[in-house]
Amino acid sequence: MKDSDGNTLVVVESPAKAKTIKKYLGPNFEVKASVGHVKDLPQTAQKAKGESNGRIKWSGPVLGVDVDSGFTPHYEIIPGKEKVISELRSLARKSSRVLLATDPDREGEAIAWHLSEELGKPAGSVFRVRFNELTERTIREAVAHPSKLDVNRYNAQQTRRILDRIVGYQISPLLWDKVQYGLSAGRVQSVALRLIVDRRLDIETYVPSEYWNVSSSLVKNGSAPFEAKLVEINGAKSEIQDVGKASEITQYANSQTFKVSQVKRKERARRALPPFITSTLQQEASRKLRMSPNRTMRIAQQLYEGIELGKEGSIGLITYMRTDAPRIAPEAMAAARDFLNKNFGPEYVPQEPNFYKSKKGAQDAHEAIRPTSLDFPPERVATFLDKQQRDLYSLIWNRFLASQAAPAIFFMTTANIEAGVLLFRVTGSIMKFDGFTRIYAISLEEDGGVQTDDKENTSMVLPDLNEGDVLELDRLVPRQRFTQPPPAFNEASLIKELEERGIGRPSTYAEIVTTIQKRKYVEIVDKKFEPTVLGRIIASLLVDSFPDLVSPQFTAEMESSLDLIEEGAETMAQILEQFYAPFNSAFVEAKKNMKNIKREGVPTKENCPECGNRLLIRAGRYGLFLGCPAYPDCTYTKKLISVTATDTAAVPTDKVCSCGAPMVIRQGRSGQFLACSRYPECKGASPVSTGAQCPKCGEGTLVHKRTKKGRVFYGCDKYPSCDFSMWNKPVPMKCPNPGCDSTVMEEKVSKKEGRYLHCPKCDSKTVLGE
């Protein structure tokens, strides 16, 4: 490819991307990398000093933004980038034109703009090129048709950067004064933290309600048993609140004839899921590959920028990975349909291509994440990729192909079965055609969990049922259930929540999730986010002093404002002024009235072992600790043992340690246990009672124990005078069998029954769930 006006300098962000692009351009093109951003606001933080006209007064170079002159930013070359800038300037002087080929998003536009300012070339010789994929066709076409830099997109990025700087540089020092030196608060990250803390509080305060389901295991003419669920009683929805009602219904059903009253048969198509966008890629990689969002994006960046494929050289394997649009280029759609026809058969190609709509508010700037070419299937490039690259590329490949495949077809049968005034219902399905599921298997979670009108298991195979059939009752299965609190967020579900609320954008999801973990505001415990004590304190302070700033709705509206700036419908100065006036007012108020954790502390439920006062969580030079509110009269302090516990992992009890101090419940590696409140001075500890009375001696209670090899069992706390023990977890519950007087049930699990309660005395069962 020739440049008639002389040499051309092409600047990208990374050396890997430069290598991939260079192979497609001729000798008259020099391709170099800026290695990320080259300019930014100053990095040195400093506290605000005084006020001027109601605004906090800053020394301009430190904040880097002149709030009194239209929020003018003052950028500096990032330390260490002077050599890169010098080299690029030298190459630019020798080139007739410069093509800025940084990523096609706001951050890429900002890098391009800063490069244009520093390279010293006339505006007429500096152009912008954007690649959605690093293929020869796309690169040559973009280079042949360069465009101008997008000032509106750059201003959208500047606005976000200035907003983040104002929030971070004003609230962070405030937290240093009120809580602990070195803390920080981000504009969007603080909202994510609030969502996690609010969800955890919802879980902790949730009061479950008991309810029961009753199912009948039925047989037709010696067939395999199938289960039908009770759905109506006397024509009204079945609502069973306690074991007494469940037993009454069970006894009634046992005396009835089970007869099929209605059978409906129909085909149902299940359509393929759309190709990946950034958020869904991060969610699926988290669920299926156990990859963090940050790692997912790092590996996706490698696949986008180029992988060395032996004689093929460096090849960009996927399209741009920061996108919120599921649309696919027509040529990619045609290629997928052709691939399906040749490799799977014409029955896997739908009559019309599958199209997918973007969600409301999507920027729709780039197409979905997909392979750049179907000439590079995962098995062909596997030897050139490491395991994580292979796994992620295979996930993207399969999802893309499946998105253009025919639907899966299920033959579904729903039968209503009457037993007196009771109506039972069963739905079964048989896969008639696997369709897209041959390529990409999905779970109920991925598909939204809505497959049929009946939420019970529909995968069972039913016998040939017809109206009027009389069925044999195998057994009745009462299941005790409890309403559940909302689930704690994990990385995938948090990203989904942020996306649905319009908080953040494809380029920021991974950063948000990573930042709140780095700041020690949350931890991942059993793959779920748990707010730390520090995280709870910060969230509470911000909600009290800056309710708008940490409001999900306000943050989503601000994201929409950034979109309007990019579209040219709003200006940077307008949005910043609208934000700053109320924010500055709240900040001035917070300086005076925000709770000072260093002085006031946060109350806990744990008592001081020396004077009896409730201990406080305090902040010191080395972090949070427990201290007595009677200081300096009482100088008792204690290390904060758990950083994720609600009440410092110590729940008061009426038990007394052998040293005379009250005992508290703590959480250990093997579960809860009783510990002395004077720990570490006293290391007294004992098992926590299950609340179940010993069925042998009738005097002791069953407690959690471990064998010498570490296996959990439950034994009487009167040991050695009573040697009763059991392997399964005891549950303090009266046996639902009217003829049994046992007050203890044991929890068991089997493949057939799922979780169920077993009476050790009469051998009866109460199924808890599948």
The catalytic residues are 320
DSSP string for residues in 486-510: PPPP-HHHHHHHHHHHT-S-TTTHH
What is the number of helices (H) and of strands (E) in the chain?
Answer: 19, 37
Rg (CA), the chain: 32
In whole angstroms, what is the distance from residue 104 CA to residue 325 CA?
14
Please choose, from the candidates 217, 189, 96, 393, the residue with its C-alpha nearest in 3D space to the C-alpha of residue 767.
217
d(CA 157, CA 166): 14
Distance CA 346, CA 343 (A): 9
CA distances from residue 508 to 259, 358, 511, 561 in whole angstroms, order as listed: 58, 19, 5, 16
Cβ 153 vs Cβ 107: under 8 Å: no
- What is the distance, to the nearest Å, from the Cα of residue 325 to the centroid of all Cα atoms in its chain? 20
Alpha carbon 481 to its chain's center = 27
Give the CA count within 13 Å in the CB-facing half-sphere of 765: 14
Sign of CA dihedral 579, 581, 586, 590: positive
**Rounded distance, CA 348 to CA 334, Å?**
14
Looking at the DSSP bridge assignments, the partners of residue 39 are 77
* SS (HEC) of 506-544: CCCHHHHHHHHHHCCCEEEECCEEEECHHHHHHHHHHHH
Residue with tokens 């986010």: 529
Q: How far, in Å, CA of 15 to CA of 151, rounded?
A: 26
Helix (H/G/I), strand (E/B), else coil: 115:
helix
* Dihedral, 75, 78, 83, 87 alpha carbons, nearest 10: -50
CA quadruple 586, 587, 593, 599: dihedral sign:
positive
Nearest to 550 by CA among 199, 201, 188: 188
Calpha distance 552→555 (Å, rounded): 5
155 burial (CB, 10 Å; 0-12 / 13-18 / 19+) is buried
How many CA atoms lie less than 13 Å away from 455 in the CB half-sphere?
Answer: 7
Yes or no: say if 132 and 366 are a contact pair by the CB < 8 Å rule.
Answer: yes
Asked whether 323 and 274 are in contact (CB, 8 A), the reply is: no
CA distance 415 to 262: 6
633: Cβ–Cβ under 8 A, 6 or more apart, which residues? 611
